[in-house]
Amino acid sequence: MKKNFKIFFIFLSLLAIDIFSKFYIYNFIPKMNFFNNIYPYGGLKIFKNFFFMSFSIVHVENTGAAWGILASYTKFLFFLRICIVSFLLIYIFVLNKQKEKNIPFLFIITGAIGNILDFCFYGKVIDMFYFQIYKYSYPVFNFADSMVSIGIFLLFLLSFKKSDRKESI
C-alpha cells in the first residue's frame, strides 16, 4: 500500500509541475514572436551561446502532436491520446508482469495526461522549452513531453536488462 501511495504521489507531483508551469507560461509569458529578431523572441533568456547552446523559456501553442504533426486533427489526437492512456493503464494494472516497467509507464502516462489536460483547458498544448544548438533550433517542447521521453528512454534501457526467462533455441 505504501508503494502505491508513493507512485500516486510521484504522479500527482509531476502532473502538478506540468500544470502549473503551463499555467504560468500561458498567463505571463507573451507568445513567441520570430518576427522580433532579438533572442529570445519575447521569452525569457536562461543562457545564450554557452558552449554553442542557447536556452530560453518561451510561449508556443501547439494544436498538433510532436513538432506540430497532425495539427488539423485535434479531435482525433485527443481521442488517440485518451486511447493510449487507457491502454497503458490497462496494461500496467492488468497485463503487466514486469513491475520494473511501472515507473517508465508512470512517466509516459503522466506526460500524456498533462497534454490531454492542456487540450481540455486551452484547446491546444502549451510548449515552453526552447533550445538552440549552434544554428539549429530544436522544436519547442514542455515538461509533459520530457516525461514521455524519459519514460521511453527508461523502457529502452530496461530492454537491455537480462530476463529471468530462459531463451529457447
Residue 144: CB partners within 8 Å, gap ≥ 6? 18, 110, 111, 112, 113, 114, 115, 118, 125
CA distances from 92 to 56, 101, 134, 145, 163 (A): 36, 8, 41, 20, 18
The catalytic residue among 18, 118, 145, 164 is 145
18 a catalytic residue? no
| Cell numbers standing for residue 80 | 488517440
Residue partners of 113: CB distance under 8 A and separation at least 6 = 15, 85, 144
Report CA dihedral (158, 161, 163, 168) to the nearest 10 degrees: 110
Please confirm, yes or no, whether 118 is among the known catalytic residues: no
Instruction: List, by residue number, the catalytic residues.
Output: 127, 145
